[in-house]
Amino acid sequence: MRRRSFIRLAGIAAPWMAAGCAGRPWGPPSAHELSADVLVVGGGLGGCAAALAACRAGLRVVMSEETDWIGGQLTSQAVPPDEHPWIEDFGCTRSYRAFRDGVRAHYRDHFPLTAAARADPRLNPGNGWVSRLCHEPRVALAVIEAMLAPHVADGRLRILRGHVPVAADTDHDRVRAVALLDRSSDRRITVTAPYFVDATELGDLLPLTGTEHVVGAESRSETGEPHAPEMADPRAQQAFTVCFPLEYRAGEDHTIPRPDGYAFWRDHVPSMTPPWSGRLLDWQNPEPKTLKPRNLVFDPTLQANGLNLWTYRRILDKTRCGPGAFAGDVSLVNWPQNDYWLGPLVGVTAEEAARHVARAKQLSLSLAYWMQTEAPRPDGGTGWKGLRLRPDMVGTADGLAKSPYIREARRIRAELTVTELHVGTEARMRATGRPLAELTAARFDDSVGVGAYRIDLHPDTAGHNYIDLSSLPFQIPLGALLPRRMENLLPACKNLGVTHITNGCYRLHPVEWNIGESVGMLVARCLRTKEPPRQIRRDRRQLADFQQLLREEGVELGWPKGTRAL
């Protein structure tokens, strides 16, 4: 496929592009034209990790970001890290561990922690129980910016905030340039590079570059997955969520104005297969594994964990600091009640996608208002007027996160696609005949990292309820990072070669970071050896050399023997 865009019409081309530009100065001096060794489109976790790895290898990097906050899931989407139970000891890259250490150091350096909290080597600032490191998004932002700061200061990294990709110029199986729109000025910047990384939350570069990709759910006949639907369904995209932080101040009234969509959301009963348990705004909802109704507790006056939603994603626990330091705890609301599945963000017009995001914001505000006014309390009363939105924590006027929390994107048609048969516990047990004690995920000889999480699929926009399956600690195969046709475009987010099913365990924070970091190192390797990514995977010696480099840089490629299923 040969595509031409305004870039070609403007005559912008770099004669050295095919050979790489490592070590060369920035491109043309025009404010509207840049050149680099690699353009990373998307400044989320995968994008930041890719940029960090590429800069560490001495490359010149341009990274764009749609919002004014880099960090994606942890910052603009406001979600504390979802991680596996061994994260403190193994199962992530060295640089991701440095990020986690940086978060704890930030709290020790800047927060009035108690002596016990300060001395805790595994400090959990929010003391939430979804993660061993629940923290507020501004801290994640500060730590990630600090990690990238030396490369920005040296000029190796240029970050274009508030920029989105709008066009691409391709020549057969190669991307030549990508145009970025500066939303603040409505001006375009054209970036040429030998390599391009799609680290956007929805895989936005894939359609712009004509890269073959999948949307939604594949059919069972295509993937062989026991839990795939009989028919492929591009509408089946996981719910997204507009998250928000809530503080509780007893005895105060912080009730927000009644949201415009409140009546609809208060009375909304999801239409879903298998059925939902009742109204969406309720403390009862389906248990994801069994889909049987379960009753959750919500009480911001209780410190106990368990099923109390207040402590689930709590990002500030005032008891971790000295008396009077903070007026109340803060919890991050990313719950079943504000998952939005009434329409997808991919496969619709930009206007329709914007309407869905606007409705999702109304849902989140309606949930906040419902909790303040009508939600049942354990003592028999209704509402908690002391719940207060914290716009300062997310950098917005309305108190909602800058961006929706995205769980599923377009996915490349890859040289190797990871399926449920590779990582699902039940599927592996049936395929191998091995007992659970001896069971492992499929071994990939081209591993470039590891991850672990249950196959956790939230309800989707085609009306399917949760799919929550046990999975085995897995590897990230290099083949899943290589499009079948395109030579110089690589994924660094949720857009790698996984299925709708296995996206459910490959989409979490440390896995996305590992994907991005390995891709950044792969680009550097390709420029240094003048070999394309596909050849590095195919050539056993080159693959072994690359994997040794990954190990030296702190990327784990396998799991310790006996690591159990989740």
Residue 146: CATH number of its domain: 3.50.50.60
> Do 342 and 488 sit in the same domain of this protein?
no
> Do 232 and 260 sit in the same domain of this protein?
no
Are 525 and 518 spatial neighbours (Cβ–Cβ below 8 Å)?
no
Mean pLDDT of 195-223: 97
> Do 215 and 247 sit in the same domain of this protein?
no
pLDDT band at 15 (very low <50, low <70, confident <90, very high): very low
pLDDT over 80 (residue 510): yes
The predicted structure's pLDDT at residue 565: 85
Residue with tokens 């081309």: 13
**Which of 394, 421, 455 is at the close of a domain?**
394
Question: In the chain, pLDDT over 70 holds for what percent of residues?
Answer: 94
Mean pLDDT of 168-174: 95
> Do 246 and 375 sit in the same domain of this protein?
yes
> Do 360 and 232 sit in the same domain of this protein?
no
pLDDT over 70 (residue 30): no
Whether residue 390 is contained in a domain is answered as yes
Provide the CA 151 distance to its chain's centre, in angstroms.
Answer: 23
> Do 160 and 81 sit in the same domain of this protein?
yes
Report which of 444, 554, 549 is spatially closest to residue 502, judged by C-alpha positions: 444
pTM of the model: 0.92
> Do 282 and 215 sit in the same domain of this protein?
no
- pLDDT for 396-411, tens place per residue? 999 999 999 999 999 9
The predicted structure's pLDDT at residue 216: 97
Q: Residue 410 and residue 387: Cα distance in Å, rounded?
A: 37
pLDDT over 60 (residue 390): yes
Whether residue 331 is contained in a domain is answered as yes
Whether residue 78 is contained in a domain is answered as yes
> Do 225 and 85 sit in the same domain of this protein?
yes
pLDDT over 70 (residue 306): no
Whether residue 120 is contained in a domain is answered as no
Whether residue 19 is contained in a domain is answered as yes
The predicted structure's pLDDT at residue 2: 38
pLDDT band at 307 (very low <50, low <70, confident <90, very high): confident
Domain that holds residue 341: 241-394
Report which of 218, 552, 163, 165 is spatially closest to residue 408, judged by C-alpha positions: 218
Question: Number of folded domains in the chain?
Answer: 2
Angle between the 45-56 and 94-110 helix axes, to the nearest 10 degrees?
110
Mean pLDDT of 334-359: 96
pLDDT band at 305 (very low <50, low <70, confident <90, very high): low
Peptide linkage before 293 cis (omega within 30 of 0):
no
pLDDT over 60 (residue 128): yes
> Do 365 and 461 sit in the same domain of this protein?
no
Residue 97: burial class (beta carbons within 10 Å; 0-12, 13-18, 19+): middle
> Do 253 and 233 sit in the same domain of this protein?
no
**Which of 394, 426, 453 is at the close of a domain?**
394
Provide the CA 135 distance to its chain's centre, in angstroms.
Answer: 16
Mean pLDDT of the chain, nearest integer:
92
Mean pLDDT of 220-225: 96
**Which of 360, 394, 428 is at the close of a domain?**
394
pLDDT band at 302 (very low <50, low <70, confident <90, very high): confident
> Do 318 and 378 sit in the same domain of this protein?
yes
Whether residue 421 is contained in a domain is answered as no
> Do 84 and 215 sit in the same domain of this protein?
yes
Residue 186: burial class (beta carbons within 10 Å; 0-12, 13-18, 19+): exposed
pLDDT band at 304 (very low <50, low <70, confident <90, very high): low
- pLDDT for 456-499, tens place per residue? 999 999 999 999 999 999 999 999 999 999 999 999 999 999 99
The predicted structure's pLDDT at residue 6: 36
φ, ψ (nearest 5 deg) of residue 310: -60, -40
Whether residue 262 is contained in a domain is answered as yes
Whether residue 419 is contained in a domain is answered as no
Mean pLDDT of 127-141: 94
More confident residue, 442 or 129: 442
Q: Residue 43 and residue 65: Cα distance in Å, rounded?
A: 5
The predicted structure's pLDDT at residue 3: 39
